[in-house]
Chains A and B, each alone.
Chain A
């Protein structure tokens, strides 16, 4: 495997960690990969984005209804936050926590504002991870999560 390529991948990951996009949980996921499950992390991330699209839609709808059901919102966000934490999406999690605080305070404006940030972080991370996995795949079959141990 191309040493420069590997370095590039490691640098990208380091950068995502340093900037707080990802945390230790992401590394834990990589450590669960083996020869039989070489793409576990990418699978988890793909599942996360497939699942979260639905949840975000539900939240969007709930925010649009009058009166706003803050309990329902809190439940949806709790699920979304849980999934985010399972893949190590730190920034997304932080926005989720903030959102839930606004729910508790029944602060509609706060929820709406924070939800925009949730979506932004969610989308931003998606792009970065897509780049990361693309790079990983380009490095060859063993490139996946085996890098950076």
Chain B
């Protein structure tokens, strides 16, 4: 009965037309979308402050590995799709920052570009981009995102599995009765 949570995609593009287009494409595929117009706004949304990204003390508001309630997670981004050519911070720059971030590196990133430049494409893929879409982006491109989104989800659940193993050591192996030290199982 539990409704499947919608995947939330963050779209980054300095072009208003292209933001509208990608937003429409993603919504048609039932994704929840947040569209921003720059790499720095994207990082802000993801909870990373550029000058603090290597600072352990900065707690991002988004973490794919988050499973603690006290981490104030406001958003859960399943995938980032970004334009390559943007002023100030290119899509490649943004990709690098995401991959360098402990909390964000497992979020799949897709790059879009109106230019078909093999060296550019290879550079992005080598840096960890899942896919490279040539603009204008089509429905068939968006259909390819599902597998990357599911991959991202799989990575996200791995720490939980580890945690569960630890939990199983602490508590009774018979998990049908949860021992909360006297509290009744509801």
Tally of contacts, chain A with chain B, CB under 8 A: 48
Inter-subunit contact B18/A83 (CB<8 Å)? yes
In the complex, A78 has a CB within 8 A of chain B: yes
CB distance from A137 to the nearest CB of B (A): 20
In the complex, B54 has a CB within 8 A of chain A: no
A44-B17, A44-B20 known; A31-B85 Cβ under 8 A: no
Q: Which residues of B contact A29 (CB under 8 A)?
A: 21
Of chain B, the residue at the smallest CB distance from A36 is B27
A81-B114, A82-B114, A82-B135 known; A87-B17 Cβ under 8 A: yes
Inter-subunit contact A51/B17 (CB<8 Å)? yes
CB 8 Å contact bits of A48-59 with B (1 = contact, 0 = none)? 100100000000
Q: Which residues of A contact B75 (CB under 8 A)?
A: none
Inter-subunit contact A32/B24 (CB<8 Å)? yes
A40-B17 Cα distance, complex, nearest whole Å: 11
Q: Which residues of B contact A48 (CB under 8 A)?
A: 17
Inter-subunit contact A83/B139 (CB<8 Å)? no
Inter-subunit contact A83/B24 (CB<8 Å)? no
Inter-subunit contact A83/B17 (CB<8 Å)? yes
Residues in B lying within 8 Å of A, measured CB to CB: 15-18, 20-21, 24-25, 28, 85, 114, 135-136, 138-139
In the complex, A85 has a CB within 8 A of chain B: yes
A51-B17 Cα distance, complex, nearest whole Å: 8
CB distance from A145 to the nearest CB of B (A): 12
A85-B135, A85-B136 known; A44-B21 Cβ under 8 A: yes
Q: Which residues of A contact B17 (CB under 8 A)?
A: 44, 47-48, 51, 82-83, 86-87
CB distance from A36 to the nearest CB of B (A): 9
Of chain B, the residue at the smallest CB distance from A88 is B136
CB 8 Å contact bits of A70-97 with B (1 = contact, 0 = none)? 0000000011011101111000000000
CB 8 Å contact bits of A15-50 with B (1 = contact, 0 = none)? 000000000010011011010010010011001100
A25-B136, A28-B138, A32-B25 known; A82-B15 Cβ under 8 A: yes
Which of B17, B18, B114 is most buried by chain A, counting CB atoms within 10 A of its CB? B17
A34-B30 Cα distance, complex, nearest whole Å: 13
Q: Which residues of B contact A47 (CB under 8 A)?
A: 16-17, 20
Inter-subunit contact B114/A37 (CB<8 Å)? no
Q: Which residues of A contact B139 (CB under 8 A)?
A: 28, 31-32
Q: Can you offer 5 A-B residue contacts whose CB atoms are under 8 A?
A: A51-B16, A85-B114, A85-B135, A86-B21, A86-B135
CB distance from A96 to the nearest CB of B (A): 11
Of chain B, the residue at the smallest CB distance from A37 is B24
